[in-house]
Chain A
Amino acid sequence: MKAFDYTAPATLPEAVGLLVSQPSARLLAGGTDLIVQLRSGRKEADLVIDIKKIPELNALDFDPIAGLTIGAAVPCYRLTAHLVIQSHFPALAEVASWIGGTQIQGRASIGGNLCNAAPSADSIPLLIALGATALIAGPGGRRTVAIEDFCTAPGRNQLASGELLVSIQIPTPAPHSGAAYLRFIPRNEMDIAVVGAGVAVTIADGVFTAARIALSAVAPTPLFVPAAGAALVGQPVAPAALEAAAQIAQSAAAPISDMRGTAAYRKHLCAVMTRRALEIAVTRAQEN
């Protein structure tokens, strides 16, 4: 690996100051993407800024009004083990237990998963479905961006020079809501999604009142499909409605063929994974 300097600032203003003064610096959360990329030469850095010592980036708080705050550096295992996340956001606890294996989950953060902006990133479709936002800090102060607008191209995101992700905010779900993320992988664990589908629904008196659907690994960025969710709203909870939404998700997908699957196979999987994820989300909504 090419030589670089390392620093671990204790505060957010210090981190922003370092980013402004050294635009070629790279931020280090769990390092499960960054260290691989630095070692392979795919990325370079003169300075690596470790953000794990900044208290705000390690926060993991739930407030019924403010919702869930996930600090950008919080590793996956803390989400899986968190009782409120298990009960209020079970789909999130699941995703955190599927990213890599046990060792990777000891380091990898959801913030890093988002900032790395891989088309196949597992947490992003679910965050979009849950209506999450990214809280960003930079030299000009703070701003908030909807997760569906965060990724701009493979490996690229919204962050301007000098900016970093502080946290991910997830609103408290309305009563009778449920969410799910499903991915298709050839093995049962530790693999990269061929297709993933994240969904969230709200149901009142047997009718969908809100729904959001997003896909991974079928476009240059995680793909929000507003029309698929909109097709559910006002419909009674029934297999035909789920299938119709799944078909809309499928037609929005623009996958490529690669060693993980052909474009046609991925297209087919979009509908299957969306429908199955919706079935789980509906069951969860009916139990809430």
Chain B
Amino acid sequence: MAPKVQVQTTINNEPVQFLCEPRQSLLECLRDVVGLTGTKEGCGDGNCGSCTIKLGDRIVTSCLVLGVEAEGETITTIEGLAHGNTLHPLQKAFLEHAALQCGICTPGFLIAADALLQKHPHPTEDQTRFWLSNNLCRCTGYDKIIRAVQAAAVEIHGAPQ
């Protein structure tokens, strides 16, 4: 075992320090070391997107980032999306549109969709599907997810002009 390394980060607006081995993925560190289990592991090789988090100003698959690479970084996970007890409009829209069944893919979709709506306040269906192509869902068939994202866009940014 290589010696453990101390990593200093900001997670969901809180300073967080954790100890990890260099071989541990950031996903593993978040779940098993920091105890933030909202972020899910699906494939472990970058394909399914269920481990999506925001690292700095980009979304990434946290299974393909080493925990040690997070030194000095700002991270947002699914636990940071709601405001206290008030759900984020995307979370509300996913519930209202039944955009989840088993829910394993949901945290990843929500973090990815949040980044989409920050970049494109009113994404087209094509833009939405293309942006979310790194997120796989085995249950819903995607349509309800797309509708939920569109509804949340209107909720957050108003109807498109």
Contact = CB atoms under 8 A, between A and B. Distances in A.
Interface of A: 1-6, 28, 30-32, 35-36, 38-40, 48, 50, 52, 75, 77, 100-104, 106-107, 188-190
Interface string B24-39: 1100000000000000
Contact of B46 (A2, A75, A104): A104
Contact of B130 (A2, A38, A39, A189): A189
Contacts of B9: none
A103 B66 contact: no
Nearest to B44: A39
Interface residues of B, number: 35
B68 A107 contact: no
A36 B46 contact: yes
Nearest to B59: A103
A103 B22 contact: no
B112 A48 contact: no
A6 B68 CA distance: 8
Given A102-B59, A103-B49, A104-B46, A36 B64 contact: yes
Contacts of A77: 58
Contacts of B66: 6, 28, 31, 35, 48
B1 interface: yes
B22 A101 contact: no
B115 interface: yes
Nearest to B126: A188
B45 A36 contact: yes
A5 B2 contact: yes
B43 to A, nearest CB: 10
Given A5-B2, A190-B133, A35 B25 contact: yes
Given A103-B52, A190-B134, A1 B23 contact: yes
Nearest to B60: A106
B61 A104 contact: yes
A188 B59 CA distance: 21
Given A6-B66, A107-B60, A32 B23 contact: no
B134 A6 contact: no
A55 B23 CA distance: 25
B22 A107 contact: no
Counting chain A CB atoms within 10 Å of each CB, which of B1, B46, B112, B135 scores highest? B46
A106 B19 CA distance: 25
Given A101-B133, A107-B60, A2 B23 contact: yes
Nearest to B63: A35
Contacts of A75: 58
A6 B21 CA distance: 9
Nearest to B52: A103
B87 interface: no
A4 B25 contact: no
Nearest to A35: B64
Contacts of A50: 69
A36 B55 CA distance: 19
B134 A32 contact: no
Given A4-B23, A189-B130, A190-B134, A103 B2 contact: no
Interface in B2-25: 2, 5, 21-25
